[in-house]
Amino acid sequence: MTMKSSARIFLGLLLSLLFVLASCKHDPDVIPTPPVTPIDNGNGNGNGNGNGNGNGNSASCDPDTAYFQNDVLPLFISNCAMSGCHDAGSHKEGIILDSYQNIMVTGNIRPFRLDGKIMEAITTSDPDDRMPPAPSPTMTSAQINLIQNWISQGALNNLCTAGNCDTSNVTYSGLIVPLMQNQCIGCHNTGNPRGGVNLETYAGVQSVALDGRLFGSVNWDTGISAMPKNSNKMADCEIAQIRIWIQNGSQNN
Radius of gyration for the alpha carbons in the chain, expressed in angstroms and rounded:
25
pLDDT tens string 101-156 = 999 998 889 999 998 888 888 999 888 888 888 888 888 899 999 999 999 999 99
pLDDT tens string 54-106 = 333 345 788 899 999 888 998 888 888 777 788 777 778 889 888 899 999 98
> 39-45: long-range contacts at Cβ-Cβ below 8 A with a sequence spacing of 24 or more?
39/156, 39/157, 39/158, 39/159, 40/158, 40/159, 40/160, 40/161, 41/65, 41/67, 41/158, 41/159, 41/160, 42/159, 42/160, 42/161, 42/162, 43/160, 43/161, 43/162, 43/163, 45/161
> pTM value?
0.64
Tell me the domain boundaries of the chain: 39-159, 172-247
How far is Cα 179 from Cα 173, in angstroms, rounded to an integer? 10
